[in-house]
Amino acid sequence: GAGVSQSPRYKVAKRGQDVALRCDPISGHVSLFWYQQALGQGPEFLTYFQNEAQLDKSGLPSDRFFAERPEGSVSTLKIQRTQQEDSAVYLCASSLSGTSVNEQFFGPGTRLTVL
């Protein structure tokens, strides 16, 4: 596609529910990133894929967070047993290659509200 797309754009979950957030990167982009943006803050890194390999998951806040990219394209971020502190905007980004010098392009984000 022309840009990074994410779905759903908005998600309301009751505390304790599981949610799954989807990211479609720019076609052909090797690297895919997930970031979390709390209200009034800058985005913070969660996890990074190069093709289907998850090279860095150091930013995932707890073991309730899980991400996958099984075929090296679409990625899913799953949050189990959601808590109120998980409420945030989840942003996905992709870049052309796996080097550190490539420009990253962001999707519109998924706004998650946990009640």
Of positions 36, 75, 82, 95, contacts another protein by CB under 8 A: 95
Kindly state the number of chain residues that form the binding site for another protein, as judged by CB under 8 A: 28
What DSSP state is assigned to residue 3? S
Of positions 15, 62, 78, 99, contacts another protein by CB under 8 A: 99
Of positions 1, 27, 70, 103, contacts another protein by CB under 8 A: 103
The site string for another protein over 42-81 (x = CB under 8 A, - otherwise) reads xxxx--x------xx--x----------------------
Report the run of H or E that residue 23 belongs to, with start and end. Answer: strand 19-24
* Distance, first Cα to last Cα, the chain: 33
- Tell me if the bond preceding 43 is cis, omega within 30° of 0: no
Residues 18-47 that bind another protein (CB under 8 A): 31, 33, 35, 41-45
Q: Does 104 bind another protein (CB under 8 A)?
A: yes
Backbone angles phi, psi at 7, to 5 degrees: -150, 150
Partners of 13 in the β-ladder: 114
